[in-house]
C-alpha cells in the first residue's frame, strides 16, 4: 500500500579513532597522533510538494545513511558520512515506534529521525600529564536505528470521488490536462492521480482517487484506504453517472461509505456533479438532476466531462468553496510529542548474578571502547570514578570476577580494576 508504510531507518555509524604515533625524522618523542573518526550520517525526513505519494519508498524497507570514515595518523580526522534525506509528501504523518508522532504539513519541513553516531577518539585525545603515550582509541558510536510508520494524507485542494465508471478520469483530464487512464471497463484507476487546475493566477491541486465499490468500505482493499487519507482535503467533488439506474442512490452510497470511514468526513465541503449529459440528453437530463437535488437536498451541477458542457459553472463553485476560510486545525495536528532523552543519572542494582549499571553516557563509552586494552581499562576506571559509579558499586559489595552489565556490554569486574 503506497500510502501507509513501515520503514527501518538506520543512521550511519561513526568512524573509528586510531592509535598512531609521530615517527618523523628529526622529531624525537613525537607523541600520539591518532585522528578521530568522522560522524555518521543522519536520517532526515523532508516534505516535498512535488512528491504526491509514498510510492517511491514502497520497495525500500531499510534505508541507511553513510558511515563516518575512520581517522588516520598525523591527527587526520575521518570524513563525516553523508546524511540521508527521505522526501515525503506534505501532510505525511510520522510515527516512530516506541517514541513520538508528528505531522509534517508544509513544504520543506524537516525532522531528524535517526542521528548518526559520533566518531571515536584517536589516541591523541587521551594524552595527559600522567599518560604521555596512550595506546587506546575509541570505536565509532553506532548510528541510531528507528522503526518508522509513515501515513500519507492526501494534501489536495479538491478530491474527485465516486463509483466506478462515473467519469472521474475523463473529468480530471479535461480540467488539468492529466493523462489518467480512461477505458470502457470499470476500476481503471488503482491509485490517486493528481492534476493542477489553473484559475487565473492561482493553481489548485485536484486529485482523483480509485472508484469506490457498492456497499461499505472494506479496509482490506487498497482503494478504500484513501478514504482514510482525505482529512486535509478542502473540497470533495462527488461525481455520479447520470445514465445510471439511480444516480441519487449512488450519491447516498458514497456518503454512506464516508460515514462508515469517519463521520467527520461528512462535515467537509461537498459538491455534487451529475455527469454524462451527452448520454442522457436534453429529455431525461433535467429529471435526473431534479431527482438528485430532491433526494440529497443539495444543489447539483449537470455536466459532461467528455464535451465540457456545464464545467465552467461547476468549477466556479469549486473554486469558491476551496477559497472559503478553513476551520480550526485539529488538535492532533498541532501537538508534537517529542522523544524523551536518556538519563545521565547512574543507577546500580543486582539482577540475579549480574550487577547492572544504568547510565546512558557510560553505556555509550563502553560500546566504543576495547575493554581488553590495559590503557582502556585505566580510562574506563577514571570515567566510572568521575560519575560516582565506583562508590555505588562498592556499596553493592561487588567483588573481582563478578559479572557487570552496562547497556549492551557485559564483562567481568576484574578487567577494569577495583
Domains of the chain listed by start with CATH number: 1-153 (2.70.210.12), 158-327 (3.40.50.300), 347-416 (3.30.300.350)
Cell triple for 345: 543519572
Cell triple for 15: 568512524
Cell triple for 135: 595506546
pLDDT per residue, tens digit, the chain (418 aa), is: 456 789 999 999 999 999 999 887 777 677 899 999 999 999 999 988 788 778 788 888 899 999 999 999 988 999 999 999 999 988 888 988 887 788 887 888 888 999 999 999 999 988 888 888 888 999 999 999 999 999 877 777 888 888 888 888 888 888 887 776 665 655 666 677 778 888 887 888 888 887 675 444 444 455 555 676 677 788 888 888 887 778 788 888 888 888 777 777 777 888 888 888 777 665 455 667 777 776 777 778 888 888 888 888 888 888 888 888 665 444 444 334 444 344 457 888 888 889 999 887 888 888 888 888 888 888 888 888 888 888 888 888 888 888 999 988 898 887 554 4
The dihedral built from the CA positions of residue 304, 306, 309 and 315, taken in this order, carries a sign that is: positive
Q: What are the tens digits of pLDDT across the range 212-270?
A: 754 444 444 555 556 766 777 888 888 888 877 787 888 888 888 887 777 777 778 88
Short-list 213, 298, 296, 193, CA closest to 257:
213
pLDDT at residue 271, as a whole number: 86
Q: What are the tens digits of pLDDT across the range 332-383?
A: 443 344 443 444 578 888 888 899 998 878 888 888 888 888 888 888 888 8
Report the alpha-carbon angle 259-314-238, nearest 5.
Answer: 20
Short-list 18, 16, 39, CA closest to 143:
39
Please answer whether residues 300 and 238 qualify as being in contact, where contact means their C-beta atoms are separated by less than 8 angstroms. Answer: no
E strand or H helix that includes residue 110: strand 110-114
Number of Cβ within 10 Å of residue 177's Cβ equals 11
Phi/psi of residue 290, nearest 5 degrees: -65, -40
**What is the residue whose three cell numbers read 464545467?**
311
The whole-model pTM stands at 0.67
Amino acid at each position: 500500500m503506497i500510502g501507509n508504510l513501515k520503514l527501518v531507518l538506520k543512521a550511519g555509524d561513526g568512524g573509528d579513532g586510531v592509535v598512531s604515533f609521530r615517527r618523523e625524522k628529526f622529531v624525537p618523542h613525537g607523541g600520539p597522533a591518532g585522528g578521530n573518526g568522522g560522524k555518521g550520517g543522519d536520517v532526515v525526513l523532508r516534505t516535498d510538494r512535488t512528491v504526491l505519494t509514498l510510492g517511491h519508498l514502497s520497495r525500500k524497507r531499510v534505508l541507511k545513511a553513510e558511515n563516518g570514515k575512520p581517522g588516520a595518523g598525523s591527527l587526520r580526522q575521518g570524513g563525516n558520512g553523508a546524511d540521508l534525506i527521505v522526501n515525503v509528501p506534505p501532510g505525511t504523518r510520522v510515527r516512530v515506534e516506541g517514541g513520538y508522532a508528528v505531522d509534517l504539513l508544509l513544504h520543506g519541513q524537516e525532522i531528524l529521525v535517526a542521528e548518526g553516531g559520533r566518531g571515536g577518539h584517536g589516541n591523541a585525545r587521551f594524552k595527559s600529564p600522567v599518560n604521555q603515550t596512550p595506546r587506546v582509541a575509541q570505536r565509532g558510536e553506532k548510528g541510531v536505528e528507528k522503526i518508522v510508520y509513515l501515513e500519507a494524507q492526501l494534501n489536495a485542494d479538491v478530491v474527485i470521488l465516486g463509483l466506478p465508471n462515473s467519469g472521474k478520469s475523463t473529468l480530471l483530464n479535461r480540467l488539468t490536462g492529466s493523462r489518467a487512464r480512461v477505458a470502457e471497463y470499470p476500476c481503471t484507476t488503482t491509485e490517486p492521480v493528481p492534476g493542477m487546475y489553473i484559475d487565473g493566477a492561482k493553481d489548485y491541486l485536484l486529485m482523483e482517487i480509485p472508484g469506490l465499490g457498492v456497499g461499505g468500505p472494506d479496509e482490506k482493499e487498497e482503494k478504500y484506504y484513501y478514504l482514510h487519507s482525505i482529512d486535509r482535503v478542502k473540497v470533495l467533488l462527488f461525481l455520479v453517472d447520470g445514465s445510471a439506474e439511480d444516480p441519487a442512490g449512488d450519491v447516498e452510497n458514497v456518503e454512506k461509505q464516508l460515514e462508515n470511514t469517519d463521520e467527520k468526513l461528512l462535515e467537509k465541503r461537498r459538491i455534487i456533479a451529475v455527469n454524462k449529459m451527452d448520454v442522457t440528453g436534453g429529455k431525461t437530463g433535467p429529471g435526473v438532476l431534479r431527482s438528485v437535488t430532491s433526494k440529497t437536498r443539495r444543489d447539483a451541477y449537470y455536466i459532461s466531462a467528455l464535451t465540457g458542457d456545464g464545467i465552467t459553472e461547476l468549477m466556479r463553485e469549486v473554486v469558491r468553496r476551496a477559497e472559503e476560510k478553513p476551520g480550526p486545525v485539529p488538535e492532533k495536528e498541532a501537538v508534537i510529542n517529542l522523544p524523551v532523552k536518556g538519563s545521565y543519572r547512574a543507577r546500580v542494582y543486582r539482577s540475579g548474578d549480574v550487577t547492572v549499571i544504568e547510565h546512558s553516557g557510560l553505556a555509550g563509552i563502553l560500546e566504543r571502547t576495547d575493554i581488553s586494552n590495559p590503557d582502556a581499562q585505566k580510562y574506563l576506571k577514571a570515567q566510572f570514578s568521575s560519575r560516582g559509579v565506583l562508590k555505588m558499586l562498592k556499596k553493592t559489595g561487588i567483588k573481582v570476577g563478578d559479572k557487570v552489565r552496562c547497556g549492551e556490554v557485559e564483562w567481568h569486574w576484574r578487567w577494569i580494576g577495583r
